[in-house]
Amino acid sequence: MNIDPTIFRAYDIRGIVDKTLTPEVVEKIGQAIGTEARARGESTLLIARDGRISGPLFLAALSKGIIKSGCHVINLGAMPSPVLYFATYMLKTHSGVMVTGSHNPPEYNGIKVVLKGVTLVEDEIKALYDRIVNNELDIGVGEESHSEIIDQYIKNIVNHIKLKKKLRIVIDCGNGIGGAVAPQLFKALGCDVTELFSEVDGHFPNHPADPSIEANMQDLINKVKKVGADIGLAFDGDVDRLGVVTNKGDIIWPDRYLILFAEDMLSRNPGATVVYDVKCTRHLREEILRHGGKPVMSRTGHSFIKAKMQETGALLGGEMSGHVFFKERWYGFDDGIYAGVRLLEILAKRTETLAEIFDAIPTSINTPELKLPIDDDKKFAFMDRFMKDAKFAGGTLTTLDGLRVDYPDGWGLIRSSNTTPYLILRFEAKDEIELKRIQDLFRQELIKLDDGLELPF
């Protein structure tokens, strides 16, 4: 079988349906995952899928492959990724496989893997490919059973978080699998809930289920203003990421609401560690320090954040894309719904509106994540050349993940996306003049390498 090695990414497996990802490929991947699980002493894997059109076929293929390896399967059906992660704790399997395309367009799908509580990354994911091409696959006889977990997930959250007052909220599920859980949960918390696009539809007919893109938040902004809501929450396709809109209709990007989460967590856990990715505002580090915490920068990617949190014992982690990880009072996996609940908990304790709360939190002029189109098979080589040749006099360089250049009054970043054919850029500065200066420096260095680039700034 000819399997495209490029679908084995840095922190998950991701491909195009019926091109690089087919049922036959997924079955082989399932057998490889089952083999790896057995090598780690695991005999049972939970499996689930999001709401994509290809999900049912791929989930069946995944199950078939895992069973062929001799592992047993507990099929949980359609649900958000974080509910699968929750199930690994409740059902005490510690291992699960999620069929999901996450925030990507409808033609994509993929696989996320957790074995013995550890999310597979980089070489561990590439090792699955090596098992397949070298035919190092176990052959045995496993069994499939089915289980339900969504009601237990909702009950668990509702039992341990009580909101101090009733909040009017708008939730935008973007036609992702969040619609199967979020409306029910937030109503159970006592919220006055206005729903947008809760119908699970793998065609994503209204807008892409990606709250990191400003255009995708416009429906939520409009509805929050129209109904006079206290807050708006948006979720991506598999609900492990959170987008936030204030009562005034302003987007609060994740690196800013992480400041609020850090302040809240550190009030109960002085000296605790907070992990964040290279795309986050410099104010996050400053505020973690100001509230007595330990800031730790990480590579971008949910798997890398989880690994760094385990390494450092961090109680909170997050990244600019909207993945948030609560180890305090929760299990440490990325969960957009739970992050939204924790934000409501904070808001319900305060007398200020959400807009007023964030008015008091430091900010700067900044851009969202900017995407520079580049072929998947060229982006990493381009970044290697850029990091070798680019000159940024007077800047402090961080090469943890791509290249981040910090100046006294701002910074710029360029890195390769691990899931899409783009280079990702972001800029922040004290004012528009400094922002333009830093962008011009990056523009100058990028054009030196390729004057045909379609720069997004």
Report the candidate in 172, 150, 270, 268 with the shortest Cα–Cα distance to residue 217: 172
Q: How many residues does the chain have?
A: 457
**Buried-exposed string 22-32: b where 16+ CB fall within 10 A, e elsewhere:** bbebbbbbbbb
Where does 276-375 have alpha helices with state H?
282-290, 302-312, 336-349, 354-359
Yes or no: say if 258 and 280 are a contact pair by the CB < 8 Å rule. Answer: yes
Instruction: Tell me how far apart the alpha carbons of residues 455 and 457 are, in angstroms, rounded to a whole number.
Output: 6
List the strands of the sheet with 251-252, edge to edge: 192-196, 168-172, 231-235, 242-246, 251-252
Could you list the beta-strand ranges (E) of 80-151.
96-99, 108-115, 118-119, 144-146
Apex CA 302: angle with CA 296 and CA 304, to 5°?
Answer: 50
Q: Burial, 360: exposed, middle or buried (Cβ in 10 Å; 0-12, 13-18, 19+)?
A: exposed
What sign for the dihedral angle of Cα 173, 209, 19, 5? negative
| Helix pair angle (23-39, 55-68), 10° resolution | 40
Catalytic residue among 54, 69, 95, 102: 102
| Pairing status of strand 410-416 against strand 422-429 | antiparallel
Cα dihedral across residues 333, 187, 208, 55: positive or negative? positive
Q: Are 285 and 264 in contact (CB under 8 A)?
A: no
Q: Say what the alpha-carbon torsion angle 344, 346, 349, 354 is, to the nearest 10 degrees.
A: -70
Q: Which two tokens stand for residue 380?
A: 């990493």
> Three-class SS of residue 282?
helix
Residue 278 vs residues 106, 184, 416: alpha-carbon distances, Å? 28, 35, 12
**Is 102 labeled as catalytic in the residue annotation?**
yes
DSSP assignment letter at 393: T
What residues are annotated to the active site? Answer: 102
